[in-house]
Amino acid sequence: MMEIYQSSRTLDLPSLDPPSTKRKLHRPFAFSKVRPRYDQIKDYLASAEPFLTLPRLLVPSRRVKYKPPVMRYGWRVSQDFLLDYARTKRLTRKWGRDLTEYERMDRALATINKKCGASMSDVILQVQTTLLDGMGCRTFVISMYTNYQLKRTDLPSQDGIERLQRAFGFEEPPSWFLDGLEWQWSRWSY
């Protein structure tokens, strides 16, 4: 099946700022040719809140030389909750070997996704880290998709998002979190 191209400028999702919205951003979200070091922005990141809607500047476009940091759409999640769930549901071993903590958390998430009927793609639904809240303790997020996946045809439906939200008991809506690894602007590699 051939996908229809949609310009980044005209993408219209409830999780994005409306087209032509402009918002003043702080580093590392604002573009800067000089890449900030983590120690220069760690105090800001320790207190920064995730975005409820993604600023248009952070929607990737090949029309500019630099690509924005990876942003993850989802919720903060407790590592202990996912590991306890994996332990109680016996999701700690696979093919005769003990799984790593990350594998257990991903497996717990996939099981909850299936049981609640959210029907989200296991390819894009992941447990990842974020730099928001600082590096003092690792903060995990359930990532339903990233700013680089906005044009996918299998993004979760509103019903799927609400089902997953209820299954975890999240009261707040999903938000956009800065990725724990790819948090800087960088050049596109061709």
d(CA 166, CA 161): 9
Domain ranges in the chain are 72-185
Is the pLDDT confidence value at 10 over 60? no
pLDDT digits (tens, 9 = 90+) for 26-81: 878 888 777 888 888 888 888 788 999 999 999 999 888 899 999 999 999 999 99
Task: Give the DSSP per-residue string, 53-121.
Answer: SB-GGGS--TTSSEEPPPEEEEEEE-HHHHHHHHHHTT-SEETTEEPPHHHHHHHHHHHHHHHHT----
Residue 9: the pLDDT is 52
Count of beta carbons in the 10 Å neighbourhood of residue 145: 23
Is the pLDDT confidence value at 4 over 50? no
pLDDT digits (tens, 9 = 90+) for 11-29: 778 899 888 888 888 878 8
Helix (H), strand (E) at residue 177: strand 175-178
Residue 117: the pLDDT is 95
Mean pLDDT, to the nearest integer, of 4-16?
Answer: 64
Residue 93: the pLDDT is 92
Is the pLDDT confidence value at 105 over 50? yes
Mean pLDDT, to the nearest integer, of 165-188?
Answer: 93
Residue 8: the pLDDT is 53
Tally of CA atoms within 13 A in the half-sphere of 16 that contains its CB = 22
pLDDT digits (tens, 9 = 90+) for 115-157: 999 999 989 999 999 987 655 557 899 999 999 999 998 999 9
